[in-house]
Amino acid sequence: MSLAALDLNLLLVLDSVLAERSVVRAAKRLHVTPSAVSNAVARLRAALDDPLLVRSGRGVVPTPRAVALAPAIARALGDLERAIHGPTFDPTTTDREVTLAMADVVQLVKLPAIVSALAVAMPRARLRVLSIDGLFAAGGLAGTEVDVVLGAGEKGPGVRARPLYQEKIVLVARAGHPLLGKRLTKVRLGALRHVDVHVAPGHRNERLAAGYAARGITRDVALVVPTFTAAAAVVARTELVASLPSSLVDVLGARLALRKIEAPLPPLASTINLLWHERTDRDPALAAFRNLLVAAAGA
């Protein structure tokens, strides 16, 4: 007979009777009456044209056909059980690959601590890191490639967010820049040429532009780069300036001889969020990884 025509609940009943070797005990296991179990077995006998179970004393014994069916039914039901309830998660043995997207500055400042924490909590897990550009290329969090984002992005449809820390944005120039030592007026600030960072095509820093616009200043952008580290490297060797995350300057400033400049602008900071999609909210491995990120990458 066609599998589509078979009531698959009957296989669940047969599996229970084969395990218990008793209609009464199978009924208790399934939380139904013994007559319901007997009726189900009778239907399956008719469908498969085999007695399947015969009485022996107070119990039942399987026919050769039922013995042959037993392991296949047990495997199929086990697979369905695991698919419905999800695999058991053990952080010490999981070899799960997790994909994390973050801008280069977050990679530089936070990734070492994240990797160290992962090595302790999930020693066999694998971590794959993408840039923000890679995040958009992969379809964002609504796609299936990226599990978690650490960045200044905001919640979108289906996206959940947890603030981690505040990142102050500072204006920097190279050591020896003619501007250093002088009071930075609006006129002088407006005369500077800037390196701007777009971490993905079309994703400029709107808050930074708004801060300049609020002071009536239009930035003269001489160069656009996709990473903050590239901007820092260019500023270190030219007369250009850039607005960079303070944590990046703290790490690379001495090495690249960068200097922070007090600018006549309102204080600017970005909230770095932990972002994930609701489709992964209940995944135990990803929930554990998100908790790890909060501990390792939080303020």
Based on the domain organization, do 54 and 162 belong to the same domain? no
Q: What digits encode the pLDDT tens for the residues 9-33?
A: 888 888 888 888 888 888 888 899 9
Indicate the pLDDT class of residue 87, thresholds 50, 70 and 90.
low
Which helix (H) or strand (E) element contains residue 111?
helix 104-121
Indicate the pLDDT class of residue 1, thresholds 50, 70 and 90.
low
- The pairing of strands 159-174 and 269-277 is antiparallel
Based on the domain organization, do 44 and 140 belong to the same domain? no
Better pLDDT: 208 or 84 = 208
Number of domains in the chain: 2
C-beta neighbour count of 281 within 10 angstroms: 12
- Residue 210: per-residue pLDDT: 85
Q: Domain containing 76: what range?
A: 3-85
- Residue 78: per-residue pLDDT: 81
Final residue belonging to a domain, choices 55, 85, 115: 85
3-state secondary structure of 58: coil
Q: Please say whether the beta carbons of 173 and 234 come within 8 A.
A: no
Residue 122 has pLDDT above 80, yes or no: yes
Mean pLDDT of 43-51: 87
Residues in the chain: 299
Based on the domain organization, do 80 and 118 belong to the same domain? no
Q: What digits encode the pLDDT tens for the residues 248-274?
A: 999 999 999 999 998 888 888 889 999
C-beta neighbour count of 191 within 10 angstroms: 11
Note every long-range contact of 81-86, with CB atoms under 8 Å and residues 24 or more positions apart, other chains counting: 86/283, 86/284
From CA 94, how far away is CA 16, in angstroms rounded?
Answer: 32
Based on the domain organization, do 188 and 162 belong to the same domain? yes
Final residue belonging to a domain, choices 85, 109, 132: 85
C-beta neighbour count of 81 within 10 angstroms: 9
**Share in percent of the chain as helix, strand, coil (round to 5):** 45, 25, 30
Final residue belonging to a domain, choices 85, 107, 129: 85
Indicate the pLDDT class of residue 2, thresholds 50, 70 and 90.
low
Q: What digits encode the pLDDT tens for the residues 169-221?
A: 999 999 999 888 888 888 999 899 999 999 887 677 778 888 888 888 888 99
- Residue 166: per-residue pLDDT: 94
Based on the domain organization, do 57 and 102 belong to the same domain? no
| CATH label of the domain that carries residue 60 | 1.10.10.10
From CA 99, how far away is CA 261, in angstroms rounded?
Answer: 36
What DSSP state is assigned to residue 3? G
- Residue 4: per-residue pLDDT: 59
Q: What is the mean pLDDT of the chain?
A: 89
Based on the domain organization, do 49 and 183 belong to the same domain? no
Residue 286 has pLDDT above 70, yes or no: yes
Based on the domain organization, do 53 and 97 belong to the same domain? no
- Residue 171: per-residue pLDDT: 95
Based on the domain organization, do 113 and 150 belong to the same domain? yes
Name the percent of the chain lying above pLDDT 90. 50
Based on the domain organization, do 29 and 153 belong to the same domain? no
Q: Please say whether the beta carbons of 255 and 249 come within 8 A.
A: no
Based on the domain organization, do 148 and 285 belong to the same domain? yes
- Residue 86: per-residue pLDDT: 66
| CATH label of the domain that carries residue 150 | 3.40.190.290
Based on the domain organization, do 25 and 156 belong to the same domain? no
Note every long-range contact of 267-270, with CB atoms under 8 Å and residues 24 or more positions apart, other chains counting: 267/168, 268/168, 268/169, 268/207, 268/208, 268/211, 268/243, 269/166, 269/167, 269/168, 269/169, 270/152, 270/166, 270/167, 270/169, 270/207, 270/245
Name the percent of the chain lying above pLDDT 70. 97
Based on the domain organization, do 172 and 260 belong to the same domain? yes
- The pairing of strands 53-56 and 59-62 is antiparallel
